[in-house]
Structure 1
Amino acid sequence: MTLPVALAGNDVIGQAKTGTGKTLGFGLPLLERVIVPADVEAGRAKPEDLVDGPQALVVVPTRELCQQVTNDLLTAGKVRNVRVLAIYGGRAYEPQVEALRKGVDVVVGTPGRLLDLAGQKKLNLGNVRGLVLDEADEMLDLGFLPDVEKIMTMLPTKRQTMLFSATMPGAVINLARRYMTQPTHISATSPDDEGATVANTTQHVFRAHSMDKPELVSRILQADGRGLVMVFCRTKRTAADVAEQLEQRGFASGAVHGDLGQGAREQALRAFRNGKVDVLVCTDVAARGIDVEGVTHVINYQTPEDEKTYLHRIGRTGRAGASGIAITLVDWDDIPRWKLINKALDLPFDEPEETYSTSEHLYELLGIPAGTKGVLPRAERTRAGLDAEEVEDLGETGGRGRGGGRKAATTTVVEERPARTRAPRQRRRTRNGEPITAAAAAEAEAAVATAEGESATPSASTPAPRRRRRARVAVAAGAEAVVTTAETTEAPDRGETVPAPRRRRTRATVAADSAEAATAAPAEPTATSADDGEAKPARRRRRTRRTAAES
């Protein structure tokens, strides 16, 4: 239904269920609009029709979908040798810039990396004749809308624009018409497939406890006729945990989520396509557009956010006319969320049946052999596993998940230090140029350990520690003059006299005593202590620069 309208050059809004071939619905018209050297050689075009830069642009929301669409377009344009380039984050810039310099005809990319290269003048979008927004409802959502609008401003005004998605809300259609010219809305459905979901997909909904879910999933994975399985989780941490638990139970599992590096994500998806891994645990980054042949079961380990996410998740099975089974495990806390999804899609699962890993109806509905336990028998562990698939070095640009995630092979180079050629230098503790004896060190440590407020008895051989002197003291105006005296105190034990620390005169007292300092006698009589009758030394005055000038 899409090909005649799109080949005529009209704008198209295409809506169809998952697995019905939307990629080639927009891919073939794009490839026909592109002019390549093979067309000039065959006489279908003139040499001056060839242009520099890409002639078609496909914008997708996820990296995995970008890679898949690129492979599909390369296959379809192989005869005419159409050059298709995937541009997305998580890879090094240099190979993508080098490919753009050599020349490409079709660019498939995610919004972030497209804007980066276009802003650096590495990507020229001035000759784009056709634009496609794949998974358009996601592309025009609030998260991607600013980036999409920036890309729109870089494109020529005269172009063909096509939007494709399995779900197309009315608000998104109204928003899309701003960027399109008289678009044709094509909604393709089969006559015998009236519901929102694919008729070939059998759906089961169970109310399950979160602590019993790993055991329940492990028994479902041993059902008769089970092929490849995709397990969807809402959070990245849950996806990593479930993949690890399934691996411990003997299943060949891999994980795809945002915390992994791009190399590890592609490694897991590649191993899943090649059959080395038969259980792929992922978040919603793999819910849109991923097409893997042989997926028989889809398990919603956690209830999806809304009905659109539910449709895209279960659409990974039952593709291209094949049959599939979709199983949703609803926790008690997610019952209100599931009721909204059930009502929006008009499904008959408003009250999911309470189910545990030992429930009989679980075995009957899914064809699980009797006596099956939650650990895969060793005789059935025939898959090569994730480690059999090599991790490709992509020159990843981001720090998060760098190195490939779970069990990635990393090489650490340890440099050995050269052997010593001489004995290390021995250091000696000294004080005033003389080595410190053990007795002196012990005495110093004892002095440091003395509690604050206790009076320590100084030794005759060890000088008292030097007191820190403040260079400048701020005294309020009109403060009383402080007389500096040198007092003697008697040691209580030895009867020796120890001079007390001298107090310095402040700047404020200098002016008050300037007259007295000018007429003072060179020596004053000594004062006698009233307590012990001992003589005190004469009061000493300090000669300052200011008093010298005044005198």
Structure 2
Amino acid sequence: MEDNSDKGLKKLKKLKKSGKKQKLMKVQQNRLGQAAEKSEIYKVEPNEDSKKRKKKKKKQPAVPDKDDETVAKEEDDEDDLESQSDSEDTGLPLNTGDAVEDQSDEDMDDEEDKDNEEDGDEKEEDNEEESESSKNILTESMFSSLEVCDLTQKGVEDMGFSNMTEIQANSIPHLLQGRDLMGAARTGSGKTLAFLIPAVELMYKLKFMPRNGTGCIVISPTRELSMQTFGVLKELLKYHCHTFGLIMGGTSRQDEAKKLAKGVNFLVATPGRLLDHLQNTANFMYKNLQCLIIDEADRILDIGFEEEMKQIIKLLPKRRQTMLFSATQTRKIEDLARISLKKEPLYVGVDDKREKATVEGLEQGYIVCPSDKRFLLLFTFLKKNRKKKVMVFFSSCKSVKYHHELLNYIDLPVSCIHGKQKQTKRTQSFFQFCNAKESILLCTDVAARGLDIPQVDWIVQYDPPDDPKEYIHRVGRTARGEGGIGHALLCLRPEELGFLRYLKQAKVPLNEFEFSWSKISNIQPQLEKLIEKNYFLHKSAQEAYKSYIRAYASHSLKNIYEVNSLDLNKVALSFGFQVPPFVDLNVHGSRSEKMVRRGGGGGPGGFNRNKQHNKSKIYKQVGNKKFTR
């Protein structure tokens, strides 16, 4: 075994070799951390999950107290599950780079020596990929060439930016002239600075003061994206004297109303909470509004805020500059642009002529996995890559909750973000993951839009996205910014391979990752035993299973995601059940009564359902037939 000083020297060498990546990560982390200083809610400690766990220490189950006999039995089940997973090879040859496997302390030290020897070659390859990717996102245009005040220039310099991206170079000069603009660019292309710099400059020229009220409103679809935009705005306004604030669901409405009454020049908001204040806060002065910015407009409409947006636009003053930014263009976006922008807005689309809809530094592929092997594959992959930064996407909040409880129970630390969490917990998990160098985050699509999370190594889509547009936004959490590199993995059932055709049409060609099923950890018997004996995990698994079936039935691509094609026995096995639980799916009489998806933003997530339903179907497995009614 090596002493602590030798280990310290090795870590120092690795840090020196990483160079450019570490510097970029620090800049991004500092930017995200700025949002945390405004309120105690956003101040979080470094992630504890990334620390090394003591091997001989038994983990206590994260469930309410039970009698000693029950606890003893469950601990035996847990030990069986851990020993089974550790005894087998958990390798998954999916081009995972230098993924770390379970080893003894001595083996890990030997592995560190090998990594140090090969580190130089790997860094050279990474640098080549970075330089290749950098050319595709940055332009020769400099921020210093913009006709903005010295205070704004100084703020941009402190953020560490010199060259503009394509969307910034093509839009900022026109926005500085007061034009209305509709911008379309892929995720991670620098849209945030593209609309914030002109807005800050406009407020500076008008000499806006707190007594003038709100002069600029930025609308974001989710709370996390709002906090991130607020952090960038705070950094940009470092040398300015303007006031700025953040309003969103899950926080104190009274405190927000008091701040609005004092005068907030720049306001970042989610749609639901903004409309609430516009309608009900008497001292909210917005009659002097000069600039309206709608960020991730397609996502705002996708999660059900179309009516709220129409009401907001009607309430706001008509004489204003409007900027509408989106990663994709749809008919709904065109309708929103028609009512919010002036008659002849400028359209800037930097991705229209690109051959790929995703960034160059992203290595992406798919694997074909039957339903009954899905969790075994996920467990093996996360076990192998637990020393990396990984995001795993699920289709429902209850599925995230169950897998979060299960994986932590079997000693694989993960965190989670979903729409039904309390805001304080959701914010804490978000900033902990942002600040961590190695961590696993389970999430729903609430984390799929706009979030700038530093150095994400893997995006795993455990449950497939609803459409190619959602796929693009999910994988957009990795390989972001200048020189960004990352990996993405899509899990598909054999019956879902038709989705690849839609991805190809959307300029997202994927390669199949090859792997050996013999290297997948076979923990199925232990999983079933654990779910059967642990009441709380059993209940959580049951809710997650039902939620998965309902979410699958709500997919828009019915020809690909056909609920009747599911083998419920195999699906149940992936949740730890030998016998599938009953699922009640609501069947509506008219199209207008269809379920409306809502998630993120100012209101609660989940499904809004009409109170009256005509009938329902009970799905269960019977013999060789898929379903019976």
TM-score, normalization by structure 2: 0.53
The residue identity in structure 2 corresponding to 1:179 is S
Matched residues in 1 for 2:332 and 2:259: separation?
A: 38
Structure 1 CA distance, aligned partners of 2:253 and 2:366?
45
* Cα separation, partners in 2 of 1:201 and 1:373, compared to 1, 3 Å: farther
Judged with a 3 Å threshold, the aligned counterparts in structure 2 of structure 1 residues 111 and 76 are, in CA distance, closer, same or farther, namely: same
Paired AA for residue 490 in structure 2? T
Residue of structure 1 aligned with 2:279, choices 104, 119, 135: 119
2:159 corresponds to 1:22: no
Flag structure 2 segments of 5+ consecutive residues without an equivalent: 1-169, 527-601, 607-629
Map 1:467-546 → 2, pairs under 5 A: none
Which residue of the other structure, out of 179, 184, 191, is the alignment partner of 2:340?
179
Name 1:106's counterpart in structure 2.
266
Match of 2:467 in 1: 306
Structure 1 residues 15-64: Cα deviation after superposition (integer angstroms, max 9, x where no partner): 111111111110111111114xxxxxxxx6668x7752110001111111
- 1:325 is aligned to 2:505: no
Which residue pairs with 1:58 in the alignment?
218
Aligned residue for 1:295, secondary structure, equals coil
- Which runs of structure 2 are paired with 1:43-82 in the superposition (5 Å)? 51-82=211-242
Q: Secondary structure at the match of 2:234?
A: helix
Tell me the residue number matched to 1:490: none
Match of 1:255 in 2: 416
Return the alpha-carbon distance in structure 2 between the equivalents of residues 324 and 305 of structure 1: 22
CA contact (8 A) 1:126 1:154 kept: no
1:10-409 correspondence to structure 2 within 5 Å: 10-35=179-204, 51-120=211-280, 121-141=282-302, 143-170=304-331, 172-181=333-342, 182-189=344-351, 194-223=355-384, 227-275=388-436, 278-320=439-481, 321-336=483-498, 338-339=499-500, 341-349=502-510, 357-358=517-518
User: What CA deviation, in whole Å up to 9, does each residue of 1:102-146 have, x standing for no partner?
Assistant: 221111111111111111124232111000110011234582121
Determine whether 1:5 maps to 2:165: no
Q: Which amino acid aligns with 1:184?
A: L
Q: Distance in 2 between matches of 1:46 and 1:135?
A: 29
Match of 1:430 in 2: none
Which deviates the most, 211-220 or 198-207? Answer: 211-220
Per-residue CA shift, 1:192-249, capped at 9, x if unaligned? x521111211111011133322332233235579631111111111111222233234
Conservation of the 8 A alpha-carbon contact between 1:251 and 1:279: no
| Residues 45 and 237 of structure 1: CA distance in aligned 2, closer, same or farther (over 3 Å) | closer
Once residues 224 and 82 of structure 1 are traced to their aligned partners in structure 2, the CA distance between those partners, rounded to angstroms, is 45
Contact 1:255 1:281 in 2 (8 A): yes
- Contact 2:387–2:439 (Cα < 8 Å) also in 1: no
Q: Following the alignment from structure 2 to structure 1, what is the Cα–Cα distance between the partners of residues 286 and 427?
A: 28
Cα RMSD (Å): 3.1
Q: Percent identity?
A: 33
Rate the CA distance shift 1:171–1:260 in 2: closer, same or farther, 3 A.
Answer: closer
Residue 599 (structure 2) aligns with: none
What CA deviation, in whole Å up to 9, does each residue of 1:324-358 have, x standing for no partner?
0000111245444x2453243244449x6786753
Partner Cα distance (1:50, 1:398) in 2: 28
| Counterpart contact for 1:219–1:357, Cα < 8 Å | no
Q: Could you say what secondary structure the match of 1:214 adopts?
A: helix
- Counterparts of 1:110 and 1:166, CA distance in 2: 18
Query: Closer, same or farther in 2 for the Cα pair 1:355/1:348, shift >3 Å?
Result: same
Contact 2:365 2:513 in 1 (8 A): no
Partners of 1:127 and 1:288 lie apart in 2 by: 30
Asked whether the 8 Å contact 2:263–2:285 carries over to 1, the reply is no
| SS of residue paired to 2:457 | strand
Equivalent residue letter for 1:70: F
Rounded Cα–Cα distance in structure 1 between residues aligned with 2:377 and 2:265: 49
Q: Structure 1 length normalisation: TM-score?
A: 0.60
Distance in structure 1 (CA, Å) of the matches to 2:341 and 2:605: 38
What SS is found at the alignment partner of 1:309? helix
Q: Distance in 2 between matches of 1:90 and 1:185?
A: 35
1:399 is displaced (CA, Å) by 10
Amino acid at match of 2:380: R
Contact conserved, 1:208 with 1:355, CA < 8 A, in 2?
no
**d(CA) in 1 for partners of 2:171, 2:189:** 12
Tell me if the contact between 1:296 and 1:324 (Cα under 8 Å) persists in the aligned partners: yes
The 2-side partners of 1:398 and 1:197 are apart by 30
Change (3 A) 1:180 1:348: closer
Between the aligned partners of 1:133 and 1:276, the Cα distance in structure 2 is 32
> 2:243–2:266: 8 Å Cα contact kept in structure 1?
yes
Using the alignment, how far apart are the partners of 2:603 and 2:296 within structure 1? 25
Q: CA deviation at 1:180?
A: 1.0
Q: Deviations over 1:164-203 (max 9, x none)?
A: 1111225523541332111111112498x52111121111
Residue 84 of structure 1 aligns with an amino acid whose one-letter code is F
1:312 shift after superposition? 0.3
> 1:342 and 1:263, CA in 2 relative to 1: closer, same or farther beyond 3 A?
same
Distance 1:258 1:69, change over 3 A: same
**How far apart, in 2, do the equivalents of 1:308 and 1:126 lie?**
36
- The 10-residue stretch of structure 1 (170-179 or 78-87) with the greater mean CA deviation from structure 2: 170-179
Which residue identity does 1:103 align to in structure 2?
G
Other structure's SS at 1:322 match: coil
Q: Is the 8 A contact 1:219 1:372 kept in 2?
A: no
Tell me the amino acid that sits aligned with residue 328 of structure 1.
L
Q: Is the 8 A contact 2:387 2:438 kept in 1?
A: no
- Distance across 2 between alignment mates of 1:217 and 1:278: 15
* Partner SS state of residue 86, structure 1: strand
Structure-2 change in CA distance of 1:55 and 1:104 (3 Å): same
CA distance in 1, matches of 2:513, 2:605: 40
Name the SS of the counterpart of 1:96 in structure 2.
helix
Unmatched 5+ residue regions in structure 1?
36-43, 361-370, 376-396, 402-551
Change (3 A) 1:138 1:225: closer
Contact 2:395 2:463 in 1 (8 A): yes
SS in 2 for 1:20: coil
Name the CA distance, whole Å, in 2 between partners of 1:143 and 1:400: 10
* CA–CA distance in structure 1, aligned partners of residues 206 and 515 of structure 2: 65
Whole-Å Cα distance in 2 between the matches of residues 324 and 288 of structure 1? 17
